[in-house]
Chain A
Amino acid sequence: MTDMVCVGAIAGSFGVRGEVRLKSFTADAEAIADYSPLATEDGSQTFTVTLTRVIKNGLAARLSGIETKEQADEMKGMKLFVPRDRLPDPDEDEFYHADLIGLEVRDTGGTLLGRVKSVQNHGAGDLLELHGPGLKNTVLLPFTKEIVPTVDLASGRLVVDPPEGLL
């Protein structure tokens, strides 16, 4: 589990009055302001975010301490993070992608299969992308109770029971 979660990035300045062009990575783009204040990756700077309008390819926002276009220009490319504990608790059987990525994956016999590389959803349910030393390519596993009976975030591991022929 990671301590800091990346929720957005600054794509450059917007206008001449110190606003920035913000790219939001959250499920609901405008929810990025709800996690304010946002920090840089090393936590050295924090910003309060106020969204001003929706623009093409993102949002326009005003960040605390950024008053001029020059300051906004300097921030281009900066990623914005939020501490993991500030995200609201998910419902039962719901998990944040950020929590699942990197978990160790073992089969029901305890053999290590690999780690979760990403979580995907193409419209037919969530899929865990598994990457392991014994696997030639990554493998996608449906995220269901039958195939993934145990999710143990505390010990950082998943137990999977993949159907025959999938691995």
Chain B
Amino acid sequence: MSRSVWKGPFVDAYVLKKAEAARESGRQNDVIKIWSRRSTILPQFVGLTFGVYNGQKHIPVSVTEDMIGQKFGEYSPTRTYYGHAADKKAKRK
């Protein structure tokens, strides 16, 4: 069953506080360490980088517009799978 709209998206309060503090300090490149994988990504998080805990370490997640509405945990896998490099490319943004 989906969440009622009147409640609004769920975000742990400390995530909001940390994001606001990072914005005010102007250090937007810093990684904001969070443990809340259940929090929803809000529009005010766009441009910030969060370190989302996966049970072992914090995985850097740079928030972009198309990630709004998803949960942080979706971008921080808890299982290791490397795969093969082959012809895969990485783009430096």
B91 A25 Cβ-Cβ under 8 A: no
A165 B89 Cβ-Cβ under 8 A: no
A96 B62 Cβ-Cβ under 8 A: no
Known: A125-B62, A141-B60. A119 touches B86 (CB 8 A): no
- Say if the beta carbon of B7 comes within 8 Å of chain A: no
List residues of chain B with CB within 8 A of the CB of A148. 92
CA distance A124 to B67 in the complex (A): 8
- Say if the beta carbon of A55 comes within 8 Å of chain B: no
- Say if the beta carbon of A94 comes within 8 Å of chain B: yes
B residues 33-92 near A (Cβ < 8 Å) are: 33, 49, 51, 56-57, 59-64, 67, 74-77, 82-92
A124 B89 Cβ-Cβ under 8 A: no
**Segment of A42-50, A58-66, A97-105 engaged in the interface with chain B:** A97-105
List residues of chain A with CB within 8 A of the CB of B92. 93-95, 126, 143-145, 148, 151
Chain A nearest Cβ from B74, distance in angstroms: 7
A119 B29 Cβ-Cβ under 8 A: no
Known: A142-B62, A147-B29, A165-B30. A118 touches B90 (CB 8 A): no
Chain A residue at smallest Cβ distance from B60: A142
A residues 112-167 near B (Cβ < 8 Å) are: 118-127, 137-138, 140-148, 151, 163-166
**7 A-B pairs with the lowest CB-CB distances in the bound complex, closest first:** A25-B84, A97-B85, A25-B86, A126-B90, A124-B75, A124-B61, A98-B85
User: Which A residues are within 8 Å of any B CB, using their own CB?
Assistant: 5-8, 25-27, 31, 35, 87, 90, 93-98, 100-101, 118-127, 137-138, 140-148, 151, 163-166
